[in-house]
């Protein structure tokens, strides 16, 4: 290669390197998935509210856990209060949908009530954040829950299914007449909620580890036996 050719080649190489340095690299395009982002925000908010309550929950912590920013939270939910209400609605929707999958209307009345009682107990065990969120809203005297449009409808459907079970049980002679489905559900839920909400103090008072697996299993069966006995004809 003569000197002139070498000079031209070096010039071209130099210009190519310079152009490469001056051309900014394009950032990888991230695909947008609104539903996934919204679900991630709800999950992060659920954990934050369950751990710290409404007053202690922080939007910046929710954003960091969800892998997004506060602007996106405000875009999807509006403000902190609206996000909290969405968490409440989502928590109730989850348990009501799970209950619906029990398909109580197609089962014998006693079997259906037994399954509902055990399901409720195990749901409380498997979702302690649900109890924490409920405790937070009770501290707020259901101020936010009363603003929900969807909550009354989903609970009305559940109570209708439970009422059907009780009426069928009445017709078969398994249950006494005139049972109130709300009373029955309150009995089931309270037996589980009180136990778990007070297990630490009660364990200390009675010197018994109420959180031990054997104790939890025994109490679940106690709930079933108590509820079924309470519904039997006198």
Q: Locate all alpha helices (DSSP H) within the chain, ordered by sequence.
A: 3-22, 34-56, 59-66, 70-77, 80-100, 109-126, 128-139, 150-172, 181-197, 199-206, 213-231
Its sign, for the CA torsion 189, 192, 194, 197, is negative
Cβ pair 104, 181 in contact under 8 A:
no
- According to CATH, where is 1.10.10.60 located in the chain? 33-78
Q: May I ask the CATH architecture of the domain 33-78?
A: Orthogonal Bundle (1.10)
Q: How confident is the model at residue 202 (pLDDT cuts 50, 70, 90)?
A: very high
User: Contact at 8 Å (CB) between 161 and 102?
Assistant: no
- In this prediction the pTM is 0.83
Name the residue with tokens 């950032």: 27
> Token pair of 165, please?
């079970």
Residues of the chain with CATH 1.10.357.10: 85-231
- Tell me the average pLDDT across 217-230: 97
Segment 128-170, tens digit of pLDDT: 999 999 999 999 999 999 999 999 989 999 999 999 999 999 9
What CATH architecture is 85-231?
Orthogonal Bundle (1.10)
pLDDT of residue 59 exceeding 70: yes
């Amino acid at each position: 290669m003569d000197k002139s050719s070498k000079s031209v080649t070096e010039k071209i190489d130099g210009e190519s390197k310079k152009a490469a340095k001056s051309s900014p690299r394009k950032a990888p395009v991230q695909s947008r998935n609104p539903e996934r982002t919204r679900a991630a925000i709800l999950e992060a908010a659920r954990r934050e509210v369950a751990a710290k309550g409404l007053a202690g929950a922080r939007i910046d912590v929710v954003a960091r856990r969800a892998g997004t920013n506060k602007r996106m939270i405000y875009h999807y939910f509006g403000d902190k209060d609206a996000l909290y209400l969405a968490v409440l609605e989502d928590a109730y929707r989850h348990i009501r949908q799970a209950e619906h999958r029990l398909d109580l209307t197609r089962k014998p009345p006693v079997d259906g009530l037994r399954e509902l009682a055990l399901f409720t107990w195990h749901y409380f065990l498997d979702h302690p954040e649900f109890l924490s969120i409920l405790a937070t809203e009770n501290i707020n005297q259901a101020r936010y829950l009363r603003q929900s449009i969807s909550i009354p409808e989903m609970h009305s459907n559940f109570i209708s299914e439970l009422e059907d079970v009780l009426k069928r049980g009445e017709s078969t002679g398994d249950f006494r007449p005139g049972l109130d489905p709300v009373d029955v559900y309150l009995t089931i839920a309270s037996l589980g909620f009180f136990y778990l909400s007070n297990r630490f103090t009660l364990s200390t008072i009675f010197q018994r580890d109420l959180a031990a697996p054997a104790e939890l299993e025994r109490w679940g069966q106690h709930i079933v036996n108590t509820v079924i006995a309470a519904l039997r004809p006198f």
